[in-house]
Amino acid sequence: MADVALLTLVASRLQADPPATDAGELVLAALQGVDALAAALRGDAGAAVHVVDRGREPLAPAVYLSSLEVEGFRGIGDAATLTIDPGPGLTLVVGRNGSGKSSFSEALEMLLTGTNQRWKGRTKVWQDGWQNLHHRHTRVKAQFTVDGRRQALTLSREWPDGGAVEASALRIDGKAAPSLGQLGWTQPLAAYPPLLSHNELEHSLDEKQSILYDALAGILGLGELVEAQHRLKDARLAMERVAKEAKATSQQLIRVLEQTGDERAVTALTALRARRWDLETVERTVGARAEGAEHSTLQRLRDLRSLEVLDRDALMTDIGDLREAAMMRDRIRDTDAARADETAKLLEQALAVHTHSESQDCPVCGTVSVLTYEWRLKTAERVAQLREDAASVIKTRRAVQEAMTRARRLITALPASIGAAAGTGVDVEQVTGAWKHWRDAPDSDDPRQLASHLEMYGPPLIAAVASVREAADAELQRRERSWRPAAEAIVDWLPLGKRARSGEASLARVTAAEKWLRDAHDALRDERFEPIAAAVQANWSELRQDSNVSLGTLSLAGTGNSRRLQLDVRVDGEEGSALGVMSQGELNSLALSLFLPRASLPESPFHFVVIDDPVQAMDSSKVEGLARVLERAARDRQVIVLTHDTRLADAVDYLGVRATRVEVVRGENSEVALRRVHDAVGRYLDDARAVANSTGLPPEAARVIPGFCRQALEAACALAVTRRMLYDGKRYDDVQTELARPTTLKMWLALALLKDADRGGDVSDYLRRMHPWAVDIVEDCNRGVHGARLLRDMKGFVRGVEKLAREIAPASDG
């Protein structure tokens, strides 16, 4: 069964560009499965294209993540919730090493897949810490907003206390579910994985080329074409195997036949040595009608064996009949049947005349008184005798005639088979002689002569024929004995030979089908991969920044074991071996470049992507590129990036990329807190306000407020400087260098306001002129940081700091 869309696509390509020979039917059959292919190869009518809508998962609607609640998993103890605005946009989850970021993303992975990339290819020990040590109840729950659905979708996975990691129970909207299949997520999770763990980021490119290929080829939706290619290949290999085997065994058969001195062996040999095996002829040599040519020795021998022979009893009967007929003829030799008949007629007439006459005198001669009663009786008797004599003469004549005819019929001509017996190995001299005598019968019509001839030459003929038949039979048996092994060998071999020959015709078709499908697959693959490759390129050129490695064409190439992700890489213009030349940071960038386009494909229902720590091995200029890449991805996807490296958040700030920031802090007992923060300035001000507004704190706690205020001002200065420098076209690295210079608040202000960190001494004058109200604020920040007690209203102080900070750097999202 094949997918309708794919089958239609293939069918239309077949029409536009038909393969050599009529292999198109095989291509379509191969797409539908092994059985269909086998039927098509047999030429079954049932192999007609039979399209079925494959039982696919329903196409899942787009989903965004809205919250992720994790409890008792890895570094997270009591339940902690990461809340995210559903919809496209960038969210940065920032926290120090060990703050629990990866625990969140791995928990989500657990929820969706029931396992973890982190454990892949590692020993069992890596799994052991999956449950939090401080909180022994483990549960992960996520909410998603679903396109076209009013309420949120809730997925949860819960582990029985003390249970194994595999023992989790999945629930969809509160109801137990065996898998995510009902959501239509199983396939997309494999094809468009929305999570990129750090482990994958680091190692996905270490994988074997074929695995990289598969990971990308999977999203192209051409898997069925690959399967169909395999089916055709298997069919071809099977045929080739049969052909090879038939060929090899035919050589053995030929050797057997060569050693068999039988004409059938010769026939079979000729048939087998022909350019193309003549299997019908070979088969006939062992068939029921195994006569070779019409005048073959075998046939002649069979004819001799079945020579008709005189029946001795019939011969004797005929001889007896002849002799009896002769005797009968002797008996009536002097009888004149005609005269007797005439006389009988005359006497009958006399009797009739006498009956009507009273006289006893003879009317013919006149003799008186002779026609007495006595005369009457005697005459009637004599008439009967005469009539009888006449009949027996006729009967005897006929009997003699018949006996002679029957006897002569026995004397047949010499059978052709005896005449043609030369070379059969059967001696026919004697029988020929006997037959010659037999034929040489006397011409007379004397039955006795004929009887003697039969008596003399019949028995020797019978004996001679019998011995010829025996000799022929013996010869036939001798030949059969020597032929049998050869015949058996032929019978054994024939089915294979037939399969090989019927495969021969198909082989060409299958080969053509296979080639056509491979070409079609490669063309479709390249077509479909192109936009992805383009997106990868775009990402790479953003991320590579100063890297001297440039990425040329990117494509999926090869088939079978040689399939690979083809990356043309140039180092300073020189061609290099793809992955070998890349640094760890470049590899990470490339892995990310590959991941994002795949996760952003329109076919994927997952409109969220979670990336764990992509920044680690990157230097600052790449981080800036990363921020841009993420910004672009976030235009139509919900991009969630977990990182310990603040440079990404910085870059996002400076570049004015809209992003939500969430900070993760992990306290004692695995208590994990998450807070959404604005920009750095806002965060410091929040901190300051929170302390100023808290009741019940010891008065000394207020000593930290000036510190936060100073940080807020420094952050505002950094932001202002960065914006200005980037606006002026400076490179991000230069900005970083500049920002590393100020060590005091005055220097920060000088850099931001006077464009020169070294003019810290002029800051107070400047402020007095431009923002007189701010002079004291700056002084108090500095003094307060070192513990000086400030004699002023703290809340008002924070408000003043905020005003100054926003003067220096207006809020980006305000």
Partner 1 sequence: MAEPDAHALVSIARDLMRLESAGSAGLGPRAAAMLGRQALELALDAVWERTAPGMGRMTARCQRLCLGTLINDPVLGRRVEWAWHLLSDACHHGVYDLAPAVPDLLAALESVWALADSAERLRGLASYRS
Ligand X SMILES: Nc1ncnc2c1ncn2[C@@H]1O[C@H](COP(=O)(O)OP(=O)(O)OP(=O)(O)O)[C@@H](O)[C@H]1O
Residue pair 658/91 in contact by the 8 Å Cβ criterion: no
Q: Which of 384, 375, 465 is nearest to 418 (CA)?
A: 465
Which residues are within 8 A (CB) of 418 and not within 5 positions of it... i.e. 6 or more apart? 304, 307, 428, 431, 432, 435, 468
Q: How far is the CB of 615 from ligand X (least distance, A)?
A: 10
Three-state secondary-structure class, residue 600: coil
Tokens of 405: 């005819």
Cα separation, 664 vs 586, whole angstroms: 28
# chain residues binding ligand X, by CB under 6 A: 18
With tokens 């099977």, the residue in question is 238
Among the listed ranges 94-102, 206-214, 467-475, 552-560, the one in contact with Mg ion (CB under 5 A) is 94-102
Q: Give CA–CA dist 337/388, Å, rounded.
A: 9
The β-bridge partners of 146 are 63
Q: Are strands 659-666 and 638-643 parallel, antiparallel or unpaired?
A: unpaired
Stretch 601-620 residues interacting with ligand X (CB under 6 A): 613
Binding site partner of 698, from ligand X, Mg ion, partner 1, none, Cβ cut-off 5-8 A by kind: partner 1
The answer to whether residue 711 forms part of the interface with ligand X (CB under 6 A) is: no
Stretch of residues binding ligand X (CB under 6 A), selected from 8-16, 91-99, 187-195, 740-748: 91-99
Q: Measured between alpha carbons, how far is 665 from 547 in angstroms, rounded to an integer?
A: 34
Task: Tell me which stretch binds ligand X (CB under 6 A): 12-20, 127-135, 463-471, 727-735.
Answer: 127-135
Q: Which is nearer to Mg ion, 32 or 102 (CB)?
A: 102
Segment interacting with Mg ion, rule: CB under 5 A, options 99-107, 332-340, 438-446, 655-663: 99-107
Inter-residue contact 322 to 447 (CB < 8 Å): yes
Task: Measure the CA–CA gap between 296 and 608, rounded to whole angstroms.
Answer: 87
Identify the CA nearest to 337 among candidates 345, 327, 347: 345
CA distance 86 to 397: 132
Choose which of 32, 91, 99, 102 interacts with Mg ion (CB under 5 A).
Answer: 102
Here's the x/- map for partner 1, 669-708, by CB under 8 A: it reads as ----xxxxxx-x-xxxxxx-xxx--x--xxxxx-xx--xx
CB-CB contact of 218 with 189 (8 Å): no
Selected range binding ligand X among 125-133, 227-235, 250-258, 585-593, rule: CB under 6 A? 125-133
> Which range, of 21-29, 126-134, 281-289, 558-566, touches ligand X by CB under 6 A?
126-134
Query: What CA–CA distance (Å, rounded) separates 488 from 492?
Result: 6
If one asks whether residue 99 binds Mg ion (CB under 5 A), the answer comes out as: no
- Residue 400's φ and ψ, nearest 5 degrees, are -60, -45
Q: Give the chain's length.
A: 814
Binding mask 616-655 for ligand X (x = CB under 6 A): ----------------------------x-----------
Q: Which of 91, 670, 711, 736 binds ligand X (CB under 6 A)?
A: 670
Q: Output the smallest distance, CB 199 to ligand X, in A.
A: 11
Strand positions, DSSP E, 161-300: 169-172, 175-176, 195-196
Q: Considering only CA atoms, which of 316, 319, 314 is closest in space to residue 451? A: 319
CB of 546 to partner 1, least distance (A): 21
Task: Note whether 129 binds ligand X by CB under 6 A.
Answer: yes
Among 650, 750, 757, 780, binds partner 1 (CB under 8 A): 650
The correct pick among 66, 91, 117, 132 for binding ligand X (CB under 6 A) is: 132
**Closer CB to Mg ion, residue 197 or residue 593?**
197
Q: Using CB under 6 A as the criterion, which residues of the chain lie in contact with ligand X when the complex forms?
A: 74-75, 95, 97-103, 129, 131-134, 613, 644, 670
Q: Using CB under 8 A as the criterion, which residues of the chain lie in contact with partner 1 when the complex forms?
A: 94-99, 644, 646-647, 649-650, 653, 662-668, 673-678, 680, 682-687, 689-691, 694, 697-701, 703-704, 707-708, 710-712, 714-715, 718, 739, 748, 785-787
Q: Using CB under 5 A as the criterion, which residues of the chain lie in contact with Mg ion when the complex forms?
A: 102
